[in-house]
Amino acid sequence: MAGKILITGAGGQVASALVDAPIELERMALTQAEFDITDLAEIDDVFDREAPALVVNAAAYTQVDRAEHEAELAFAINRDGVADLAHACRARDIPLIHLSTDYIFDGTKQSAYVESDPVAPLGVYGESKAEGEAVLHRLWPKHVILRTSWVFSATGNNFVKTMLRLGRERDELGVVNDQHGCPTSARSIAETLLEISRRLLEGETIEWGTYHYCNGPPTTWYGCAREIFTRAGGFESLRLEPIATSDYPTPARRPHNSVLDCAKIERSFGIRPADWRYELEIVLSKLSLPD
């Protein structure tokens, strides 16, 4: 199978999973220090040197709360960097797969969000990701945008690792129970991205555009935390309490509902959502857990 996949954002949760996935596709992952997507000259140099057949953009500014005070940096990476990649891919006729987020929605819909629902981000992070999507739509038709949600893995910073740390440090823990979404493993996102990549590299004709992929079933942060502590074991004395968003104020507002409908990706690629509870077991098995 000819063609190299260039992966941005090496070291992040999804990029790490993309590198580790056991699939026979040639891949090169570069960190931000090695490949700054906000530097068009550097993009040209890397593209000319590596000659990728496909690019997966997993680089992003993801600090949701900090973005409220670092808007310029968030937009530089999440919008302008995407524009730079789109220009470079268009100049070389290279497909671009871009990772996006459920936080482009405002959470007021009473059912799962489909790809055609209007975006209405509540904060700088979501706005920067929404504008990154828009600029990619405008600049380069040969793209796939994959929106996902509540990413977790055994690497990096994420909810699962935070809960395990806090559970060891405290006797009681309050977790938000009125934000609904779908925890999604970086491993399953990587498998989805690589399946789409494989089809593109094999010359399959696909429908370009936006797709949703997340694990199921929907839950809340509290529901996810409860599952983490139950499956990890050793937290029987921890008092876990459901709280409202209003009881845990943050600089950035979060959508109360960010459940993503994944029917389109199943129709187009036959990719079905994995169960996040199964994926959680895999992650927990990789982490150092209390006796």
Q: How far apart are CA 208 and CA 52, in angstroms?
A: 19
Residue-by-residue DSSP string for 46-83: HHHHH--SEEEE------TTGGGT-HHHHHIIIIIHHH
For residue 269, the one-letter residue type is F
d(Cα 87, Cα 139) in Å, to the nearest integer? 7
- Catalytically annotated residues: 125
Question: Strands 219-220 and 180-181, how do they pair?
Answer: antiparallel
Tokens of 57: 């953009």
Burial 172-208 (b: 16+ CB within 10 A, else e): ebbbbbbbbbbbbbbbbbbbbbbbbbbebbeeeeeee
